[in-house]
């Protein structure tokens, strides 16, 4: 199949593109500079410009574009760029899909932040989006940007991704040095659930969905057994051979976390029900397995 992908230069996009090409599929990467290779096509999502003929030639269009979530949560510029980079790219591709003959499927990146804080209640794809935290509203706008493709009758899949745990990328890349110094700390009382997924499971799940012509609607990409923050903290400390006896006070995190404090302190007990129903099998089902895969050097 032919897949057109935005965000292919990012951490997840690069791995997904490599997986699809390795399986014999053709991937065309959308870039915002002059193309250097035959498998690249220039676009400008902020000017709503993309090659409609290229989109029409695709079986699937995947959007994983967006600025990093790691940044200064007190910065208005960071917040605007984070939102706009997701909404503008998704909207541009959704309009292109709606206008294209043949109407390829649209696979739109998103995050589990869409669901908001559900406390101890299990979350599946059928769960409501709760609250008005910064990331939850970003995720809602991000999802709403697929509207033109949905209205045109296109097949749209939303990839609600949990934090991907891998030593080469946030958040684990920033956490490991701290934990190796013995400074790892649970957040607040640590009872809030913290959804995670290994890189290899995320890539395998995304590949599974992109090549599944029956996939439609939201899919949660997260390990089946969601740890609490305290369980994750203890497991990571043990994995690096240290102990984690510290706790980051809630009041300090509310100030330091700025716009992201609800995500730090909220709870999401995620269950990837739709993905499991689609026949996907996880290799890393719990926090111990996810961390082992994420810390592996290979």
Average the pLDDT over 26-53 and give the result: 97
Average the pLDDT over 217-240 and give the result: 98
**In 112-207, beta strands by DSSP E:** 122-123, 156-161, 164-165, 185-187, 197-198
Structural domain boundaries in the chain: 2-165+197-224+269-283
CB 162 within 8 A of CB 147: no
CATH 3.30.2310.20 fits 2-165+197-224+269-283, yes or no: no
Token reading at 109: 């990146």
pLDDT at 253: 85
Average the pLDDT over 261-281 and give the result: 95
Quickly state the pLDDT bin for 105 (edges 50, 70, 90).
Answer: very high
pLDDT at 278: 94
pLDDT at 298: 55
Please state, in angstroms and rounded to a whole number, the distance separating the CA atoms of residues 28 and 41. 7
- Chain segment 168-215, per-residue pLDDT in tens: 999 999 999 999 999 999 999 999 999 999 999 999 999 999 999 999
Quickly state the pLDDT bin for 263 (edges 50, 70, 90).
Answer: confident
pTM score, whole prediction: 0.96
Question: What proportion of the chain, given as a percentage, has pLDDT over 70?
Answer: 100
239 Cβ neighbours under 8 A, 6+ residues apart: 288, 291, 292, 295
């Amino acid at each position: 199949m032919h897949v057109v992908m935005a965000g292919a230069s990012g951490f997840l996009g690069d791995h997904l593109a490599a997986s699809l090409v390795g399986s014999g599929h053709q991937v065309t990467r959308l870039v915002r500079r002059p193309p250097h290779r035959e498998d690249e096509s220039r676009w400008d999502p902020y000017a709503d410009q993309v090659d409609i003929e290229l989109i029409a030639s695709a079986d699937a269009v995947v959007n994983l574009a967006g600025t990093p979530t790691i940044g200064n949560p007190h910065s208005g510029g960071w917040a605007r760029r984070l939102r706009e980079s997701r909404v503008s790219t998704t909207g541009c591709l959704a309009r292109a899909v709606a206008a294209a003959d043949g109407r390829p499927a649209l696979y739109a990146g998103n995050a589990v932040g869409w669901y908001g804080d559900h406390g101890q209640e299990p979350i599946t794809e059928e769960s409501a989006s709760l609250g008005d935290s910064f990331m939850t509203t970003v995720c809602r706008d991000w999802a709403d940007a697929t509207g033109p493709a949905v209205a045109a009758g296109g097949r749209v899949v939303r990839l609600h991704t949990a934090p991907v745990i891998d030593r080469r990328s946030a958040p684990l890349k920033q956490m490991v040095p701290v934990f190796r110094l013995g400074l790892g700390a649970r957040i607040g009382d640590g009872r809030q659930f913290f959804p995670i997924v290994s890189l290899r499971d995320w890539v395998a799940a995304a590949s599974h969905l992109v090549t599944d012509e029956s996939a439609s609607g939201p899919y949660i990409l997260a390990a089946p057994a969601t740890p609490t923050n305290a369980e994750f903290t203890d497991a990571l400390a043990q994995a690096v051979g240290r102990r984690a006896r510290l706790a980051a006070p809630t009041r300090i995190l509310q100030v330091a976390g700025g716009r992201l404090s609800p995500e730090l302190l909220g709870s999401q007990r995620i269950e990837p029900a739709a993905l499991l129903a689609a026949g996907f099998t996880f290799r890393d089902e719990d926090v111990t397995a996810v961390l082992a895969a994420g810390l592996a050097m290979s």
